[in-house]
Amino acid sequence: MVLTLYQIVWDLTMIHYPKRILIVEDNKADVRMLKDVLESQGYETLQTGDGLEAINLALAHLPDLILMDIQLPELSGLEVTRRLRCDDRSRHIPIVAVTAFAMGCHRREALDSGCNAYISKPISIVGFLSTVESFLPRLLR
């Protein structure tokens, strides 16, 4: 593997100013997997399985990206997304919807609610990371 100067600068930037990702997910195994994959890439993570807490965490920490499970116990991920999109403090934060339902209508619904992208479970790690990185670009690849 050849490390470019830009790669090194990126890695140093991640050490000093790590990108922070809010994981909104109520399934413990999925949380574990998402957290491990993201932290192995140098991202910092915050996590909750509760929609209202997700809104509070998003406003308090202003993460660089939010991963949003759609099926949550109280408020759905779609509702959480709509609320975040109504608030000036959070309307700009990229939101990637994550759902077990791979049907086209759910994809449409997620995008209509204000999600920027959509991935379905089971998650492919390579595809997942490239979706995340498309919103948090490295300086150069």
Residue 26 within binding range of Mn ion, rule CB under 5 A: yes
Residue 79 within binding range of Mn ion, rule CB under 5 A: no
Name the segment binding Mn ion (CB under 5 A); options: 10-18, 21-29, 57-65, 119-127: 21-29
The minimum distance between CB 72 and Mn ion, in angstroms, equals: 6
The minimum distance between CB 70 and Mn ion, in angstroms, equals: 7
- Nearer of residues 7 and 71 to Mn ion, judged by Cβ: 71
Q: Are 45 and 21 in contact (CB under 8 A)?
A: yes
Q: Which residues of 94-121 are buried (b: 16+ CB within 10 A; e: fewer)?
A: bbbbbbeeeeeebbebbeebbbbbbbbe
Q: Per this entry, what is the length of the chain?
A: 141
Residue 69 within binding range of Mn ion, rule CB under 5 A: yes
Residue 30 within binding range of Mn ion, rule CB under 5 A: no
Residue 44 within binding range of Mn ion, rule CB under 5 A: no
Q: Which residue is nearest to Mn ion (CB)?
A: 71
> What is the 3 state secondary structure string of 16-79?
HCCCEEEEECCCHHHHHHHHHHHHHCCCEEEEECCHHHHHHHHHHHCCCEEEEECCCCCCCHHH
Residue 71 within binding range of Mn ion, rule CB under 5 A: yes
Q: Which residues are at the interface with Mn ion (CB under 5 A)? A: 26, 69, 71
